[in-house]
Chains A and B, each alone.
Chain A
Amino acid sequence: MAQVQSLEDQLAWCNTTKHYLHELNEELKYVSNQYKSSVENLKEFGYIAEHMPHLEFLYSDFETALNNVINYIKNEHIGYIDDRSQTIQSIKTQGVGNI
């Protein structure tokens, strides 16, 4: 019984941690989109033409950096926790003891 509880706790841990990391990735995507919209709106509403390339460059730099972080979190952290989660799940299904 204690072992089952331990597996449940471990699964809950994985889910909560994964939730935080997902939340971070969503926030990064959201701000990247906001950045893009701000630059597009400035262009659309006649912001000084000679200063636009600088803003466009900044956005492109930001987008690249954020995509790298998003992929890193997804592959290195969420991926790892997913693996752990699946292992625990299969142990639970097979009714084997603690990992």
Chain B
Amino acid sequence: MSLDFNKSQDKFIIYRQDGRCGNCGKDLKKATKIHLHHVLNKKDGGAGIVENGVILCGECHIHVHDYNTKKSVLVFRNEFKYANWEKNIEYKGKKQGKEVEFTKRTLNEFDKQGEEMSNQRYESHLRMVEGLKYSLSQLQSKIEIIKEQYKKQIDAMESATFMTNYIEPLREKHTHFSEIIEDLNNMIEEHKTQISLHEEILEDLIQDARSY
């Protein structure tokens, strides 16, 4: 799937927007510059398909990149008031030779490709969230091991009967240390539970995309 738009797509998007900027509605003939903008950025996997393209005047294009915070594709698309996304359907119904064929093909492919694109993103998010949860579990194991090693050190010191004057303070320190570790463990457990909520959200989204 190409990430860049071709000339036919460019023409189609201008048609769809009635020759106006997708953001402010300005007549594109009066704009000094125009840009064919990827709604979902190319580096985030945004494809060169008409459903991901909006023509903007130069001023709006700068503005869009200024506040280009990450949002879902649908939220992004809805922000372009003059993009006329629904006009694809009208255009699809017209019989205008090759351009119609191209549009039909693109629209048909979009259902599949667009969902695959979203699905791939959600799956990659899910892997990140699972990786984080795994790291937290690993940390829990590690702190338990070190807590035990610390205790064994104190036991060894006691049985070797050296530093006898410091056994009690060290035992007290270890008791406090164990309490801190216990709190830390509980906190990590709570974080794993909270992160699981994100896992569930992503699994639902992936499931929805698959059954689409």
Question: Shortest Cβ distance from A51 into chain B, in angstroms?
Answer: 6
Q: Is the CB of A55 within 8 A of B75?
A: no
Number of residues in B with C-beta < 8 Å to the partner? 44
Evaluate contact between B146 and A84: CB separation under 8 angstroms: no
What is the number of contacts between chain A and chain B, taking CB atoms within 8 Å?
Answer: 103
Q: How many residues of A contact B (CB 8 A)?
A: 43
Known: A17-B150, A80-B173. A44 touches B70 (CB 8 A): yes
Contact residue among B40, B146, B194, B198 (Cβ-Cβ distance under 8 Å from A23): B146
User: CB within 8 Å of A: which of B108-152?
Assistant: 121, 124-125, 128-129, 131-132, 135-136, 138-139, 142-143, 146, 149-150
Closest to A66 in B: B184
Given A10-B162, A17-B150, A20-B150, A51:B180 Cβ within 8 A: no
The distance from the CB of B145 to the nearest CB of chain A, in whole angstroms, is 9
Contacts of B89 in A (CB 8 A): none
Across the interface, A48 reaches (CB within 8 A) one of B72, B138, B150, namely B72
Which of B12-20, B30-38, B50-58, B153-161 faces chain A? B153-161
Interface on A for B, CB 8 Å cutoff?
Answer: 6, 9-10, 13, 16-17, 20-21, 23-24, 27-28, 31, 34-35, 38, 41-49, 51-52, 54-55, 58, 61-62, 65-66, 69, 72-73, 76-77, 80, 84, 98-99
Given contacts A10-B162, A42-B125, A42-B128, 7 further A-B contacts (CB under 8 A): A13-B160, A24-B142, A28-B139, A31-B135, A43-B70, A49-B75, A76-B173
